[in-house]
Amino acid sequence: DTAVSQTPKYLVTQMGNDKSIKCEQNLGHDTMYWYKQDSKKFLKIMFSYNNKELIINETVPNRFSPKSPDKAHLNLHINSLELGDSAVYFCASSQYRDRSYEQYFGPGTRLTVT
Amino acid sequence: KNEVEQSPQNLTAQEGEFITINCSYSVGISALHWLQQHPGGGIVSLFMLSSGKKKHGRLIATINIQEKHSSLHITASHPRDSAVYICAVRTYGQNFVFGPGTRLSVLP
């Protein structure tokens, strides 16, 4: 059983389109995250939700909007896609243990904007 | 300058060698994580530590809070250890900051 799943795995779309990436976790975790990994393989946090409430919102364009319908889901909607949005997007969830949060990552969604 | 730095950036080793990857950070942290990203792209959490040392199989992670430094060691390295190893810190502001990664290639 997949712990953290993302759909789609690959997404190719044109500039200006609106797209969504879905994430689901079946681990019972309260906190979920979206990360972006750029072409240089550098990971950066975008958003974090705890119990459906936004707790981290890094400096990302407001074209990116996370939506958490329930604790097990955190979807990422992107409006007016730009070439620079091409990247791999990772969803993760976390469990509080040993005074910090152990991360469980999804397989990633490779977004290509043409 | 990144808040989290790693060295080396790239590392090639022969099978069986002892490997060390270093991470240094400049912010206050509540914990440090070591992640492994496989060639296929998947990311796995290896260690989460806030003090001392942890061991899992052939992997050992240490952290020195005073020096703001952590090391990841791999004993008896194997080609299947080839991956990118990423150091990430969780700050007191509950944010995660990632290092640039160390690309390890272990040759048979």
pLDDT profile of chain A (114 residues), mean per 10:
89 97 94 90 87 76 90 94 96 76 90 97
Whole-angstrom distance, CA of residue B99 vs CA of residue B89: 8
Mean pLDDT of B12-37: 95
Q: A48 forms bridges with which residues in the sheet?
A: A33, A56
The burial of B83, by beta-carbon neighbours within 10 Å (0-12 exposed, 13-18 middle, 19 or more buried), is given as: buried
Select from B43, B44, B87, B89 the residue whose CB has the most chain A CBs within 10 Å, as the one to mutate to test that interface: B43
Residue A99: the pLDDT is 59
A·B CB contacts under 8 A? 60
Cis peptide bond prior to B39, omega within 30° of 0: no
Q: Two tokens at B66?
A: 């005073």
Interface contact B94-A41, CB threshold 8 A: no
Report the pLDDT value the prediction gives residue A14, as an integer from 0 to 100: 97
- Taking the Cβ of residue B63 and every Cβ of chain A, the question of whether any pair is shorter than 8 Å is answered with no
Rounded to whole angstroms, what are the CA distances from B107 to A96, B19, B27, B43, B81? 37, 13, 35, 22, 10
What is the tens place of the pLDDT at every residue in B62-108?
999 999 999 999 999 999 999 999 999 988 766 788 999 999 999 99
Please give the pLDDT value at position A97. Answer: 60
Q: How sure is the predictor about B59, in pLDDT bands with cuts at 50, 70 and 90?
A: very high
Taking the C-alpha atoms of residue B2 and residue A16, their distance in angstroms, rounded to an integer, is 32
Distance CA B102, CA B108 (A): 19
Please report the pLDDT score of residue B92 as a whole number. 79
Q: What is d(CA B88, CA A67) in angstroms, rounded to the nearest whole number?
A: 25
C-alpha to C-alpha distance for B87 and B100, rounded to whole angstroms: 8
- The tens digit of pLDDT for each residue in B32-57 reads 999 999 988 889 999 999 899 999 99
Please, which residues 2-61 of chain A have a Cβ atom closer than 8 Å to chain B? 33, 40-45, 48, 55-56, 58
Cis peptide before B8 (omega within 30 of 0): yes
What pLDDT shows up at residue A16? 97
**Which residues does chain B have within 8 Å of residue A100's beta carbon, measured at their own beta carbons?**
30-31, 33, 48, 50, 90
